[in-house]
């Protein structure tokens, strides 16, 4: 049975003790350089067997652990075989290497077997704590040695100052061609062999060629079976540049050297140059690289949003904020109300219950000629005509549903102004409103608010003072940040456009007659800025009862516009027109078919609305009156959404299932 006694007194079995010795030093007048210390140290112990001092030859193993509880083995010294033990005493030299002792506690474990045995070792317990030795204690306080006591100091440090230090390096990153960074403590930077070729260390014998160079620089050779002569020069043919080369040089594809004209599109696919807009999917790619897009199929939906006993839905106007939930502002036109209301949809299709809120009650008979936009803060702002006072007002909602009391401001208090309002948000977040002043001969005016809430004193300018102008005004912000307005010149029966010279329209505007045919044109005008920055206007030819679209020739709408008849059926169409630019950049219109009392849409097939448009009867209430006061917006899903007044004075919303509403 094996055992041990830490003090050297034998217990049951085999015991041991450990001692560390050091020789004394004799200081002579002339000192010789001392040899560097190694990592080995002497180990002495006492073995007992069955309570008696052991004698004979024994094989010993010594291992190092980091603790007594849940220990981790650090290292083991080389086995000491056939160690002589006399009267229980033995001595060996142990070397665990340079990294075994790092300033933490270490425990020795001795394992023993008879020298003549080849069987397993017996581990003695408990493990013994290695105490600090004098040399280790000296090393622990080596940092207290004064600078003047250090020998062999380099010349740059002799005065105690690092002459080469220019700052403090906190980290080293691996730049192009290197790996290993970022290093904030210690580490190694190395060449990135995935980017930099190792030095080529091989070659091919005569008659062979280098077929491949490996990452480690070795080469793969192949037999040159095709060499039949000597190349003296290489020229650059069609589509290439860099030749002729008679020595060394580079052949490259010339800029523009390979294009659609140089490839056979029946065999080589031209670069894909298009994409499909929101609301459509990619169906194919043409040989020239253009894409074929098809609307994502979906069903149109029609929802009655407000249907009280009162007559509602006059002067509807719709906008879609960033949350994708439409907001509709409209008038309750009953004899007891005459008030301005808002409906906030609960989903993108406006199905399900909406939040209905009164913005201004009927004291001033509010809510004619409404126009809503989403401010820079994401909240609705509405311009309207208070017909009880005959003034222009603006209501700024303080929440997304306009449910809380709005900030209401009289923008132009002149009696007899404010009909046919249209509101847009400037690039600076300030609202700007076009409207009619009917106090005199009938003039087009613009009011630019003093701030985003339209409180305070607005800047009011007369844009066109010609008699009976400004009706059906529609304002948008041009690509230059200045407003552009489409409207009816009632005295001439023509469609006009005013391009402002500044954000407030306070200077002289550029006035252009866009369409002045023999017919009465320009009623129900609706203007938007195309994705190309050019205005496009939808309007009614009241003589022919048709829908027209004019695409301006430039951002100011001067010069000859492209005019197209979009819908010219046997029926009378074009009342209550509105226009939006679809997710594909093509206009989409909503209007009323007055003959059958139906709501229609027209989807243009290009940005100018030339050619045949896709005409859809969206809501046809079986020959009864509907489709009044239509207003259109494009949802965040890329699909049109339209508010309008239905049969019997109801507020309705139609959500298109496709971009074309078909």
| Closest listed residue to residue 473, CA positions, set 426, 555, 417, 544 | 417
Cα dihedral value 633, 636, 640, 643, nearest 10: -50
Rounded to an integer, what distance in angstroms lies between the CA atom of residue 286 and that of residue 292?
7
3-state class (DSSP) for residue 428: coil
The pLDDT, as a whole number, for residue 103 is 76
> Residue 133 is encoded by which pair of tokens?
């030795």
DSSP 98: T
Rounded to an integer, what distance in angstroms lies between the CA atom of residue 419 and that of residue 296?
40
Assign residue 319 a region: left if phi > 0, alpha if psi is -120 to 50, beta otherwise?
beta
3-state class (DSSP) for residue 209: strand
The pLDDT, as a whole number, for residue 310 is 73
Phi, psi (deg, nearest 5) at residue 149: -90, 0
Residues whose CB falls within 8 Å of the CB of residue 499, separated by 6 or more in sequence, listed in order = 478, 482, 484, 509, 510, 512, 555, 556, 557, 558
Long-range contacts of 73-80 (CB under 8 A, 24+ apart): 74/100, 74/106, 75/100
Within a 10 A sphere around the Cβ of 429, how many other Cβ atoms?
12
- Answer yes or no: are the C-beta atoms of 652 and 644 closer than 8 Å: yes
Residue whose pair of structure tokens reads 């939906």 in the numeric block? 301
> Residue 609 is encoded by which pair of tokens?
């609305």
Assign residue 526 a region: left if phi > 0, alpha if psi is -120 to 50, beta otherwise?
beta
The pLDDT, as a whole number, for residue 558 is 97
> Residue 476 is encoded by which pair of tokens?
């948008």
Residue whose pair of structure tokens reads 């709501």 in the numeric block? 599
DSSP element (H, E) containing 91? strand 89-95
| Domain ranges for the chain | 41-135
Could you tell me how far CA 627 lies from the centroid of its own chain?
40
Within a 10 A sphere around the Cβ of 363, how many other Cβ atoms?
11
The pLDDT, as a whole number, for residue 5 is 39
3-state class (DSSP) for residue 499: strand
What's the sign of the alpha-carbon dihedral 352, 358, 362, 364? negative
Residues whose CB falls within 8 Å of the CB of residue 316, separated by 6 or more in sequence, listed in order = 328, 329, 330, 370, 629, 630, 631, 643, 644, 645, 651
Q: How many CA atoms lie within 13 A of 515 on its CB side?
A: 28
Rounded to an integer, what distance in angstroms lies between the CA atom of residue 403 and that of residue 421?
23
- Answer yes or no: are the C-beta atoms of 134 and 149 closer than 8 Å: no
- Answer yes or no: are the C-beta atoms of 609 and 556 closer than 8 Å: no
Length of the chain, in residues = 662
Question: 625 burial class (0-12, 13-18, 19+ CB within 10 angstroms)?
Answer: middle
What's the sign of the alpha-carbon dihedral 138, 143, 147, 153? positive
Rounded to an integer, what distance in angstroms lies between the CA atom of residue 503 and that of residue 448?
8
Rounded to an integer, what distance in angstroms lies between the CA atom of residue 401 and that of residue 140?
74
Could you tell me how far CA 365 lies from the centroid of its own chain?
47
41-135 CATH: 2.60.40
**Low-confidence residues of the chain: pLDDT under 50:** 1-31, 134
- 191-242 per-position pLDDT tens digit: 777 777 777 877 888 878 888 888 788 888 887 655 555 667 888 777 688 7
The pLDDT, as a whole number, for residue 226 is 55
pTM of the model: 0.60
The pLDDT, as a whole number, for residue 246 is 82
Rounded to an integer, what distance in angstroms lies between the CA atom of residue 235 and that of residue 319?
64
The pLDDT, as a whole number, for residue 83 is 93
3-state class (DSSP) for residue 243: coil
């Amino acid at each position: 049975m094996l055992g041990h006694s830490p003090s050297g007194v034998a217990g049951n079995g085999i015991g041991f003790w450990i001692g560390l010795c050091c020789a004394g030093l004799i200081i002579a007048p002339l000192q010789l350089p001392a040899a560097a210390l190694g990592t080995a140290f002497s180990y002495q112990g006492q073995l007992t067997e069955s309570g008696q001092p052991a004698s004979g030859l024994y094989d010993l193993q010594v291992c190092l652990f980091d603790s007594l509880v849940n220990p981790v083995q650090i290292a083991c010294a080389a086995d000491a075989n056939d160690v002589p033990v006399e009267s229980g005493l033995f001595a060996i030299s142990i070397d665990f290497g340079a990294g075994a002792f790092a300033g933490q506690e270490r425990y020795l474990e001795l394992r023993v077997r008879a020298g003549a045995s080849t069987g397993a070792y017996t581990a003695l317990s408990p493990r013994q704590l290695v105490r600090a030795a004098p040399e280790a204690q000296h090393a622990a306080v080596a940092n207290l040695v004064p600078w003047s006591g250090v020998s062999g100091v380099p010349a740059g440090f002799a005065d105690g100052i690092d002459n080469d230090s220019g700052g403090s390096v906190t980290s080293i990153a691996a730049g192009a061609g290197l790996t290993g960074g970022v290093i904030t403590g210690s580490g190694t930077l190395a060449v990135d062999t995935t980017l930099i070729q190792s030095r080529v260390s091989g070659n091919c014998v005569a008659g062979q060629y280098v077929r491949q160079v490996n990452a480690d620089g070795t080469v793969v050779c192949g037999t040159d079976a095709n060499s039949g002569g000597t190349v003296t020069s290489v020229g650059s043919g069609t589509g290439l540049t860099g030749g002729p080369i008679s020595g060394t040089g580079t052949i490259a594809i010339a800029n523009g050297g390979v294009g659609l004209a140089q490839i056979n599109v029946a065999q080589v696919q031209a670069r894909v140059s298009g994409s499909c807009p929101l609301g459509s999917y990619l169906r194919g790619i043409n040989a020239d690289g253009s894409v074929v897009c098809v609307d994502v199929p979906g069903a149109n939906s029609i929802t009655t949003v407000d249907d009280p006993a009162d007559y509602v839905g006059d002067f509807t106007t719709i906008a879609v904020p960033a949350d994708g939930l439409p907001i509709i502002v409209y008038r309750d036109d009953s004899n007891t109300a005459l008030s301005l209301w808002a409906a906030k949809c609960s989903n993108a299709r406006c199905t399900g219950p909406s939040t209905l809120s009164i913005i201004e009650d009927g004291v001033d008979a509010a809510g004619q000629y409404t126009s809503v936009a989403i401010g820079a803060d994401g909240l609705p702002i509405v311009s309207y005509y208070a017909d009880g006072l005959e003034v222009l007002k603006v209501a700024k909602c303080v929440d997304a549903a306009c449910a809380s009391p709005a900030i209401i401001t009289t923008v132009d208090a002149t009696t007899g102004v404010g009909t046919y309002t249209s509101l847009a948000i400037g690039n600076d977040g300030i609202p700007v409103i076009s409207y009619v002043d009917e106090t005199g001969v009938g003039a087009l005016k613009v009011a630019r608010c003093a701030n985003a809430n339209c409180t305070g004193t607005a800047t009011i300018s007369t844009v066109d003072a010609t008699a009976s102008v400004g009706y059906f005004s529609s304002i948008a912000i041009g690509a230059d940040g200045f407003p552009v307005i489409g409207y009816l010149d009632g005295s001439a029966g023509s469609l006009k456009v005013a391009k402002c010279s500044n954000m407030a329209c306070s200077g002289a505007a550029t006035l252009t007659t866009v369409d002045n045919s023999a017919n009465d044109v320009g009623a129900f005008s609706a203007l938007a800025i195309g994705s190309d920055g050019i205005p496009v206007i939808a309007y009614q030819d009241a003589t022919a009862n048709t829908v027209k679209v004019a695409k301006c020739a430039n951002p100011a709408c001067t010069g000859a516009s492209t005019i197209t008849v979009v819908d010219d059926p046997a029926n009378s169409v074009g009342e209550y027109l509105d226009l939006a630019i679809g997710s594909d950049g093509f206009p989409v219109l909503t209007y009323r078919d007055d003959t059958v009392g139906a709501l229609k849409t027209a989807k243009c097939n290009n940005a100018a609305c030339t050619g045949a448009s896709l005409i859809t009867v969206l809501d046809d209430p079986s020959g009864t009156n509907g489709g009044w006061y239509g207003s259109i917006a494009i949802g965040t899903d890329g699909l049109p959404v339209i508010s309008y007044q239905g049969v019997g004075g109801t507020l309705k919303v139609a959500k298109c299932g496709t971009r074309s509403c078909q």
